[in-house]
Every structure is written in structure tokens, then in C-alpha cells.
Structure 1
Amino acid sequence: MTEKERNDYFYVCALIEYIARETKNHRGDIVNQIGEDGIKKLLYDAEVDHCLSFEQVSDEVVDYYKIKQGNFDTISACKYSIPSFLDIGKLYSIMIEDCAKPGDEVSELMKIFSSFISDEISNFNTDLYYQNPNYLEWSYREGKLLD
């Protein structure tokens, strides 16, 4: 993966996290609503969208893909400090780079965001986000949190 591609994936992953928080949806619901072609378009546009606010791009994506408000609120009942959407986006982009076969990154993005690990990471009342990224990656690969 080139440095530009890393930056684009980081941006799109952070945007997905931002949209999910704003609309109170599971991250998998967001990527499924946007779809594979939509994710590819977001990656293509990422270099230009970097210059815009996340709020503006989020509003445009929510409107274009008709993403409705959900009830998966991971923020308001949280008792602890919440990692930023950028921190979470970085984590996802690292997982995609580590897990995807070359040329299969978009599909892997959709699989990771739609997997159990995404809801686990989104539970900010646990310390899962702060675990070693290798632990998260291998838990994802095994389909369950490892002991």
C-alpha cells in the first residue's frame, strides 16, 4: 500500500466512524448502506475531501446514501474517556492494511467494519480499544475475542 493509499484509508475509516457516531448506527450498517462502489468513491475523493471538514463530508454522505438515525449510541452512556474518531479510524486502517490481500482492501474494509470486532471496539466502556492492535487483528481473524 502506498503512503497516499494509507492516508486515504485512514481518512475513509475515520469518516465512517464519525458518521456512525453522528447517526448512532453500527459501523457495519454504515458501510453496507454506502456499499462497495460508494466506499471506492470515498477513497477516490479522499485526497480532495481532506480539505473539507468532517462535518461537511459526513452531511453529504448521510444525505446522498440516505443514512437514517439509528439507536446504537456508544457515546452518551460511556463512563470513560472516548477515543477520537481519528484514533479509531487509524486503528481500522491499520487492520485493513495488515489483513487485506493486495487489491482486496475495499472488501476487507467492509468485512472488518461488519464483523463482531467493530461493535466490540465501539464499546467504549471496555478497554478493548486500548489493547494491542495485534490482539484486535487476530481476534478478528479468529472470529472471537481471544483469551
Structure 2
Amino acid sequence: MTEADKDDLFYVCSLVEFIARKTKNKRGVVANRLGVDGFAKQLKDAQVNHCLSFEQVGEEIVDQYKIPQGDFESVENCKYDIPSYTDIGNLYCIMVLDCAKNGDEIETAIKIFTSPISDYISNFNSDCYYQNPSYLEESFKAGKLL
């Protein structure tokens, strides 16, 4: 994977986090709505979309993929400093790059976003986000926090 491809993956992971927060959905809802084809399209469009605001791109994706309004609140009730959506996007990007076999990045990203580990990462009242990515990757592989 080239550096440009890694940047695009980081952008799309951050975009999934951004949309999930805005629509109050679990990250897996957004990833499932995109699906493999939608995720691939967002990766392809990422270099152009970098120039646009997350708000604009996110709104277009919500409309195009009919992402519903949810009730999963990860930001409003947080007692602590909230990591930015790009901080979380970076964590997901690292996990995907470390866990995916070459060519399976999209499928792995969707699996990570829809895994129980994603819900733990999204609980900003816990310290899960701050854990070492290797720990989170091994927890993802195990299907539970270790």
C-alpha cells in the first residue's frame, strides 16, 4: 500500500467516525451502509474529497447511503476530553493496516468497525481509545477485550 493509499484510508476511517458521531450511530452502522463498494468508492474519491469539509462530504454520504439517525451517543455524555474524529480515524487506520492482509484492507476495515472492539473504542468515558493499538488489535482478533 502506497503512502497516498494509507492517507486515503486514514481519511475514510476519519470520515466514518465523523458520520457516526453526527448521526449518533455505532461505527458499524456507517461501515455496513457503505459496504465494500461504498468504502472502495470513498477511498477512490478521497484525494478529491480531502479538499472539501467533512461536513459536506459527510452530508452527501448520509444522503447517498441513506444512513439513518441513531441513538448511540458517544460524545454528548462524555465526562472527559473527547478525542477528535481524526484521532479515532488514525487509530482505526493503524488497526486496519496492521490486521489486514495485502488487498483485504476494505473488508478488514468493515470487520473492525462492526466488531465489539469498535463500541469499546467509542466509549469515550473509558480509557480504551488510549490503549496501545497492538492490544486493541489482539482484542479485535479475539472478539473481546483481553
Q: Give, in whole Å, the separation in 2 of the partners of 1:103 and 1:75.
A: 33
Residue of structure 2 in register with 1:132 after alignment: 132
Q: What amino acid does structure 2 have at the position aligned with 1:29?
A: V
- Name the SS of the counterpart of 1:78 in structure 2: coil
Residue of structure 2 in register with 1:66 after alignment: 66
Q: What amino acid does structure 2 have at the position aligned with 1:41?
A: K
1:84-104 alpha-carbon deviations (Å, 9 max, x no partner): 000000000000000000011
What is the Cα deviation at residue 135 of structure 1? 0.7
> TM-score, normalised to structure 1's length?
0.98
> TM-score, normalised to structure 2's length?
0.99
For residues 1-147 of structure 1, the aligned pairs below 5 Å read: 1-146=1-146
Give ranges in structure 1 of 5+ residues lacking alignment.
Answer: none
1:57-81 alpha-carbon deviations (Å, 9 max, x no partner): 0000001111110000111111011
What is the Cα deviation at residue 55 of structure 1? 0.4
Runs of 4+ in 1 over 2 A off after TM superposition: none
Q: What amino acid does structure 1 have at the position aligned with 2:18?
A: Y
The percentage of aligned residue pairs carrying the same residue is: 62
Q: Give, in whole Å, the separation in 1 of the partners of 2:131 and 2:102.
A: 26
Q: Give, in whole Å, the separation in 1 of the partners of 2:103 and 2:90.
A: 20
Q: Give, in whole Å, the separation in 1 of the partners of 2:67 and 2:141.
A: 29
- Name the SS of the counterpart of 2:90 in structure 1: helix
- Name the SS of the counterpart of 2:126 in structure 1: coil
What is the Cα deviation at residue 53 of structure 1? 0.4
CA RMSD of aligned residues (A): 0.5
Q: Give, in whole Å, the separation in 2 of the partners of 1:25 and 1:144.
A: 20
- Name the SS of the counterpart of 1:73 in structure 2: coil
